[in-house]
Chains A and B, each alone.
Chain A
Amino acid sequence: MITFTNVTKMYGDNVGLENVSVDIEKGDFVFLVGPSGAGKSTFIKLILKELDADAGTITVGDYDVTNLSNREVPELRSKIGIVFQDFRLLPKKTVFENVAFAMEILHRTKRQIRKRVPQILSLVGIADKADRYPQELSAGEQQRVAIARAIVNNPKVLIADEPTGNLDPVTANGIMELLDEINMTGTTVLMVTHAKDIVDRMNKRVVAIESGHIVRDEFGQYGYEEEMTAVREEVFDDE
């Protein structure tokens, strides 16, 4: 589903990723772990073609990302669901409108939107909050809205960038259960995280990146001694 072949990305003289090859298959659930600045952000930015690789090839589903024209980028992104640590909901839109927005972008009809959005909201467990505004919801509920928005168009891939980073452990568990359910419907999930307990408990494939190289790729444990200080790593800084 996501394939990196000998991918290198440099920032001037600094290594972003160097000669990275990895294959994430359809239906996989993969944790992407590693210290801050190790290259996790670069990895995700390359998938979304927010950055261009200097060498190597990247494919996502049927898309050859490395050779994608700028014009085709929106189409690629519409096939990838994405969830951020800070939720990134539109504050002036209700929960329903926030989720509907992702469908409007793909020019879905009003009727399709009215049918689909309530289904998704109840799937993520916030059907009763449809008319609320994001700031009226708890952090966990906001993240559920963000997940609803990410999966409303049935993406093949869901990328979650520290989705539990701003949540307390109990709420975080709820979100992990939801991501697991989504994964079980066949959606490939790639999750960046620093949360040792979550990774250890979920027992999924773990890809560890350090200094731009993949240092470990195996099923099971988080692998670092303790939970790394979750330095808030802005993957999609828009400032």
Chain B
Amino acid sequence: MNRLGYTLKQAFQQIHRNKGMSLASVFAITAMLLILGLFFVISVNVNLFTEMVKQDYDKVEIYLLDSTDRAQAQQIMDTMKDIKNVSKVEYRSKADALKIMKERWGDSGYLLDSLGDNPLPNSILVKVNTLAAANKVNSTAAKLSGVESVKYYKETVDKLTKITDFLQIAALVIMVFLVIVSIVVVSNTIKLTVFARSREISIMKYIGATNWFVRGPFLVEGILIGLFSSLVSAGITYLIYGKIVDAIGSKVMTILSSPLVPAGYLSVNLIIIFVAMGVSIGACGSIISMRKFLNT
């Protein structure tokens, strides 16, 4: 307890005596974490969108021309049923389609009332068990008469998956650079305090202080700077993202049929990730800055 008190007191003293550079460190880590937050928020949302779309992965939707009558539609449905690994074929009238869309749009559903004539086509929904069956349905249906187009989710999902992968790799690469930069900034900040106290440190070591006794206050200094920065940036990210969700969340829902991840849902993960990053950057920075001073 005595020891912990000593360490904390020293750490706060050092931060206080070195306000300017401590602040610089806080800015550097905060800026880094904000960029991390941006990537985090984007990839969480892209992931969610991908998941939403993936739920439709096993569906092929065949849109029919308005001129196609119910009997022709039945014929197409029978053809589809004959394809291997097709589990379900279902007719969806334009009226049903509108109803489903209204449900999906929720509060914004009233917008659809102004459409006048229902612009949605009649369609046939085909559920498949395998990717091969989906391809088969796709190619067969495209050749049939009375079919306007075939909407097939595989391509969308593939594209989205590629985007998600790319985003994650890009985020990782940028993060690595930013982490290195932050560690350098923090270690330089702390090096200044170490320099200022190098004589004191050498005296401590002659009296018999262990490396950890000397290192303790500097380590805590780094951790406090990191912790403070992480809380600031988590707060900023949370507030800004919350505003964004409030402002455009419902529009995104309308356009992409997929919601934005609510800010509240993110907050816990956000804080955990940020604190972990901030604290490790602070700790690494201080340990690196001390290395050369603790050789003997």
Contact = CB atoms under 8 A, between A and B. Distances in A.
Interface in B1-23: 2-3, 6
Interface of A: 48, 50, 73-80, 82, 88, 90, 101-102, 104-107, 109-110, 149, 236, 238
B208 A101 contact: no
A73 B2 CA distance: 23
B118 interface: no
A96 to B, nearest CB: 15
Contacts of A101: 204, 207
B contacts with A: majority SS: helix
A165 to B, nearest CB: 17
Interface string B197-227: 0111011111111110100000000000000
Given A78-B207, A101-B207, A107-B3, 11 more contacts: A74-B209, A75-B208, A76-B208, A77-B207, A82-B206, A88-B206, A90-B200, A104-B6, A105-B208, A106-B208, A110-B2
A48 B206 contact: yes
B202 A102 contact: no
B202 A238 contact: yes
B67 interface: no
B55 interface: no
B296 interface: yes
The CB with the most chain A CB atoms within 10 A, among B199, B204, B206, B207, is that of: B207
Contacts of A109: 2
Given A88-B203, A90-B203, A107 B208 contact: no
A79 B208 CA distance: 8
A74 B200 contact: no
The CB with the most chain B CB atoms within 10 A, among A75, A78, A101, A105, is that of: A105
Nearest to A51: B296
A236 B202 contact: yes
Contacts of A110: 2
Contacts of A106: 208
Interface of B: 2-3, 6, 198-200, 202-211, 213, 296
A238 B295 CA distance: 12
Contact of B210 (A74, A79, A88): A74
Contacts of B200: 90
Nearest to B209: A105
25 contacts: A50-B296, A74-B205, A74-B210, A74-B211, A76-B208, A77-B205, A77-B206, A77-B207, A77-B208, A82-B206, A82-B207, A88-B199, A88-B203, A90-B203, A104-B2, A104-B6, A105-B209, A105-B210, A105-B213, A107-B2, A107-B3, A149-B207, A236-B206, A238-B198, A238-B202
- Would you list the 3 A-B pairs with minimal beta carbon distance, nearest first? A78-B208, A77-B208, A238-B202
B207 A105 contact: yes
B208 A74 contact: yes
A106 B200 CA distance: 17
A109 B6 CA distance: 12
A115 B208 CA distance: 21
A107 B2 CA distance: 8
Nearest to B13: A92
B257 to A, nearest CB: 63
Contacts of B198: 238
Nearest to A109: B2
Given A74-B209, A74-B210, A110-B2, A105 B296 contact: no
Nearest to B198: A238
A109 B5 CA distance: 12
A105 B201 CA distance: 12
Nearest to A108: B2
Contacts of B202: 236, 238
Contacts of A236: 202, 206
A207 B68 CA distance: 116
Contacts of A74: 205, 208-211, 213
B218 to A, nearest CB: 16
B210 A238 contact: no
A130 to B, nearest CB: 19
Contacts of B2: 104, 107, 109-110
A235 to B, nearest CB: 10
